[in-house]
Structure 1
């Protein structure tokens, strides 16, 4: 690659890190960019290299946010192995899943979630402290939902962060800020699980991956500061924007696939 290609990809990875830290969806920026700048790469190679950058950036943002946002760290630690294993399992069966069938389902779920948030302005704006010690039923429910979303992330991926934020806010009554931190902890784990499968398959371009990871970390740190400054109101707006952008992107992919 020449210097211009490197510069474009570094800028893209930085932007993707910021997007991932704020609400998620950085892969929508970086994967298409890698494929367009380096057309010789297969989709698996681009996705694997993106995962390497995303793991680094998301972990960096998680660390920055977790130090500032009150969190049940014991509960958060329970989510890590569950998410990692389920994501790896999803990545292993991803080749057998028909993405053209999944896209319309995900679009409907995204639009439903966005409509719900738009019609419920107070949703995710305040946490209920009396829910800190979760009931057994709520704990089992959220662990089950996290397992399903982590497997989905390994298989397909778009909207994972948003689905996690919605689930934490709805099931265990977290505000968007706490939900976002928990979502990033889970997302880091799911990315690691999927990355392990990509590494085993020999898909990661290590030199490019390391450079993009450093750029992604820089963007993630800027994104974490944006989140801490904007609070739950910013996250609500970002979530609604993500719903529109991701739904449009998936609808376009579906249209292209059906032509």
Structure 2
């Protein structure tokens, strides 16, 4: 069994100042990407997994600590400028937080690779619909009202929150997909609400990891500061440029997720051969 890196060590053994700089750059870029449309975990988590001696659970936990700061920052920025509907975002966030705790607690029990083909197919469908329906997400046009709207928001929050606790990468993107395609928000408003929910899912998973002693606090706080800076820049850029800009970047991130998942499937298939 791999020995855990000391939680309060300034730097993990084997990680020099050059490596720390790369982690800070990854955290800044992840904060920017998450603030605009989600997907920052594709940058930040793989960077942490490359740290010598760090176990996967420590990488996941430290990633969540850094991400909590970034999503909190972008949530505040969006709320001040866009004024997202808290009647949708807060119940969705509460359910997502609880689901994320559940997802994190069973992460080691379920074969995650089973979900990869399903997620990839869903992403391809979403990308095609978004690409060939330019009006989708251009303006907010809610599909449902009242109880049905809230029920669908809660169901989406629970499913995506569980996914974030169990697997993680692409959570913000999936939240935007649900808020645009399922509920009818425009891309900018969807991104604003997604940040509030994503903050809750990060916090939920972190609440499980802290008692395990898996969080590398000094490293996570340093990366959290970089995440804040990236989130401030990304949220301001998205607010300034509007829904069309967010839609274009959304398509790019979905395409990147499809390529990554496709590569993972190919690698696993060849590894098993």
- TM-score of the aligned structures, taking structure 1 as reference length: 0.94
Farther off after superposition, 66-75 or 108-117 = 66-75
Superposition deviation, residue 133 in structure 1: 8.6
Aligned to 2:250: 239
State the superposition RMSD in angstroms. Answer: 1.6
Aligned to 2:134: 121
Write the distance in 2 (CA, Å) between the matches of 1:83 and 1:216. Answer: 22
Aligned to 1:208: 219
The reply to whether residue 3 of structure 1 matches residue 17 of structure 2 is: yes
Write the distance in 1 (CA, Å) between the matches of 2:120 and 2:183. Answer: 25
Output one character per residue of 1:188-226: Cα deviation in whole Å (capped at 9) or x when no partner. 000100111111221110110110000110111111111
Contact persistence 1:177–1:235 (CA under 8 A): yes
Write the distance in 1 (CA, Å) between the matches of 2:45 and 2:52. Answer: 11
Aligned residues: 256
Superposition deviation, residue 120 in structure 1: 0.6
Aligned to 2:205: 194
The match for 2:27 among 7, 13, 36 is 13
Contact persistence 2:27–2:223 (CA under 8 A): yes
Contact persistence 1:19–1:26 (CA under 8 A): yes
The reply to whether residue 67 of structure 1 matches residue 88 of structure 2 is: no
Write the distance in 1 (CA, Å) between the matches of 2:191 and 2:258. Answer: 20
Instruction: Report SS of the residue matched to 2:150.
Output: helix
Farther off after superposition, 229-238 or 150-159 = 150-159
For structure 2, the residue ranges without an aligned partner over 5 or more in a row are 1-14
Output one character per residue of 1:149-173: Cα deviation in whole Å (capped at 9) or x when no partner. 1111111223322222122223332
Shift in alpha-carbon separation, 1:65–1:132, aligned structure 2, 3 A = farther
Shift in alpha-carbon separation, 1:163–1:2, aligned structure 2, 3 A = closer
Contact persistence 1:110–1:159 (CA under 8 A): no
Superposition deviation, residue 247 in structure 1: 1.1
Matches within 5 A, 1:86-165: 86-128=99-141, 131=142, 134-165=145-176
Write the distance in 1 (CA, Å) between the matches of 2:79 and 2:246. Answer: 16
Contact persistence 1:59–1:185 (CA under 8 A): yes
Write the distance in 1 (CA, Å) between the matches of 2:204 and 2:18. Answer: 32
Instruction: Report SS of the residue matched to 1:124.
Output: coil
For structure 1, the residue ranges without an aligned partner over 5 or more in a row are none
Instruction: Report SS of the residue matched to 1:95.
Output: coil
Write the distance in 2 (CA, Å) between the matches of 1:139 and 1:3. Answer: 48
Farther off after superposition, 167-176 or 53-62 = 167-176
Give 1 or 2: higher helix fraction. Answer: 1
Contact persistence 1:134–1:172 (CA under 8 A): no
Matches within 5 A, 1:39-54: 39-54=52-67
Contact persistence 1:86–1:154 (CA under 8 A): yes
The reply to whether residue 33 of structure 1 matches residue 44 of structure 2 is: no
Write the distance in 1 (CA, Å) between the matches of 2:53 and 2:150. Answer: 46
